[in-house]
Amino acid sequence: MSAPRWRLDAGRLLFDDEPALLLGGQVHNSTSSSPASITSSFGRTRDLGANTVIAPVCWDLSEPEEGVFDFALVDTLLTEADHAGLRLVLLWFGAFKNAASTYAPRWVRADAARFPRAVVGAHDRAPFTYEGATHKPVLSVFSPSLREADGRAFERFVQFVAEHPLRDRVALIQVENEVGLLADSRDRSAIAEAAWAGSVPAELVAFVERTAADSIAKRLWEAQGAPRAGTWRELFGDDWQADEVFMAWAFSTYVESLAARAARIWPVPLFANAWLGPQPGQDRAGQYPSGGPAARVLDVWRAGAPSLDMLSPDIYVDEAAPVVDAYSASGATLFVPECRVRVADIATSLAAGAVGWSAFGVEDIRVGSQVSQLLGQLVQLESSLPQAQRDGRLEAIVLGEGVESARVVIGDLEVVARGTRALFTRMLLDAGVGHPVTPPPPPAETDADAAVASPHDTRPFGLIVDEGDDTFLVFGQGLTLDFFRDGTVVEYDSVGEGRFVDGTWVAGRSLNGDERLRVLPLDEVGAVRIRLVTVSGVTA
């Protein structure tokens, strides 16, 4: 069997050794359970201008009876991705999905003796028990039987893909989905308590000894006197933070057991995704899934799951920048498999070096929306954007609520961005003209019947590509840009609207005069190419 044509190298995603970006959306959880919904959602993804679709493969549908495998739906995913001309990222919904086990097969969930359940403390609510919802099963990650059964099914799934004639459509595979434990900081089942009372594995102790001083695990360990051996309590203490390290090692090594089996068969790049934490309203482990690849325990995960190529954030928080910075720190490869339908987060992610970005609920996104407009343009720059990322020639500016301006440095230039609408309003008032006319509210990003409505992203933003020779390609909305270079006067030489069609820049208007005051559209995504001139004989 030949090696995958997709691989990761030094933070870049390559297909046949050429740089690639995965730009698209993830279908809803149940979409991939029906051939008709697969066809429809993949067609919508293509129409949005994306090049990638992300879809689940479900253990319960793949192994309805123990040892009886059915991957007909996986065949449909591959076939329809090929028909739509899309790359495919497959998500293994195995024993753990969103900190529950609803995708484990009936024969697993029904046998609690063989596959024990997780137990949470009496002081916390039971997992996922709230008014209007039936109890959801949560299996114990400490079960060897579960690890073997899940691993065997995952191995058969990867084998099926590896032997499929359309396997090169598959760029990445995700192992499990948003793992961790909710409602308590650690599992208190009998099998988990035995692990808690046992010795900390020597490989974890060795890792903690050499890891960075700001590591949560190291700080807890040093607070205990840096013992070389002992129980989890003896090495890390007995609070929720120690519990999180304990659960992170359990979940990461569980995921590693699956990833290692896959890597031996067909080493396509593998990743695990993260339910973020801490985050507003979820301050401690258990409020967000304890033991998942949250920012506090990323180092533990990298030690416990070395076969994974990436740890990837699912971004549902208001500010994406701190998240992408955390998950791309120290040169880690960044991929965003789930995000709100918010166009400025694409710019933030790519400027942080992401090899891909995906909006969740792609079948609900409106063709012609902001996300659709930007994806359709960026897909055509796939051959040049990865190099701009590596060279430090790609920057993003996003003005959140209440932020009037921001600055970035590109090469020897400082770029200052201001919100055009606020700036324009002040200019008109200063000139005695009055307020500009307020436009009608823009349409939402999603269709009217979407399960979760996504509003128009009103944040001014820009994705700035330095093309060299003082020329910049800018995608975005609602930003006014000023350029400065120490000791010199820098002016706009030319500003031209345009868009990419079949990979070629098609120029629109040449902007001058009043139009220079708002080179990017206010309420939809546009693109401009800006050329600067340095004025000789004049000192700044």
Least confident range from 42-46, 125-129, 265-269: namely 125-129
Residue-range domain boundaries for the chain: 6-196+240-360, 397-535
Per-residue confidence (pLDDT) for residue 125, from 0 to 100: 47
Mean pLDDT score across all residues of the chain: 94
Beta partners for 19? 14
Which tens digits make up the pLDDT trace of 486-509?
A: 989 999 999 999 999 999 999 999
Confidence tier at 128 by pLDDT (50, 70, 90): very low
Q: What angle do CA 438, 440, 443 make, to 5 degrees?
A: 140
Calpha distance 126→301 (Å, rounded): 26
- The CATH code of domain 6-196+240-360 reads 3.20.20.80
53: enclosing H helix or E strand = strand 52-58
Mean pLDDT of 289-310: 98
Mean pLDDT of 56-69: 98
Q: Is pLDDT at 522 greater than 60 in this prediction?
A: yes
Mean pLDDT of 236-254: 98
Beta partners for 498? 507
Per-residue confidence (pLDDT) for residue 177, from 0 to 100: 98
Domain 397-535 CATH assignment equals 2.60.40.1180: no
Q: Is pLDDT at 174 greater than 90 in this prediction?
A: yes
Please report the beta strands in 159-305, taking only residues with DSSP state E, as ranges in sequence order: 170-177, 270-275
Confidence tier at 127 by pLDDT (50, 70, 90): very low
Mean pLDDT of 262-266: 96
Calpha distance 57→141 (Å, rounded): 20
CA distances from 398 to 353, 354, 413, 484 (A): 16, 16, 18, 19
Q: Is pLDDT at 105 greater than 60 in this prediction?
A: yes
Per-residue confidence (pLDDT) for residue 346, from 0 to 100: 98
Give the pair of three-digit tokens for residue 49: 């201008």
Q: Is pLDDT at 176 greater than 50 in this prediction?
A: yes
For the beta sheet containing 394-398, the strands, ordered from the edge strand earlier in sequence to the opposite edge, are 394-398, 461-468, 471-477, 526-535, 489-501, 504-511
Q: Is pLDDT at 135 greater than 70 in this prediction?
A: no
Beta partners for 408? 415
Q: Is pLDDT at 437 greater than 70 in this prediction?
A: no
Mean pLDDT of 409-433: 82
Mean pLDDT of 366-392: 97
Look at residues 63, 204, 192, 205 and name the one whose alpha carbon lies nearest to residue 140: 192
Q: Provide the angle, in degrees to the nearest 10, between the axes of the packed helices 35-47 and 72-84.
A: 20
Calpha distance 250→140 (Å, rounded): 10
Give the pair of three-digit tokens for residue 5: 């044509």
Helix, strand, coil percent content, the chain, rounded in steps of 5: 35, 25, 40
Q: For every residue of 140-202, which 3-state class applies, written as one string?
A: CCCCHHHHHHHHHHHHHHHHHHHCCCCHHHEEEEEEEECCCECCCCCCCCHHHHHHHHCECCH
Q: Is pLDDT at 435 greater than 70 in this prediction?
A: no
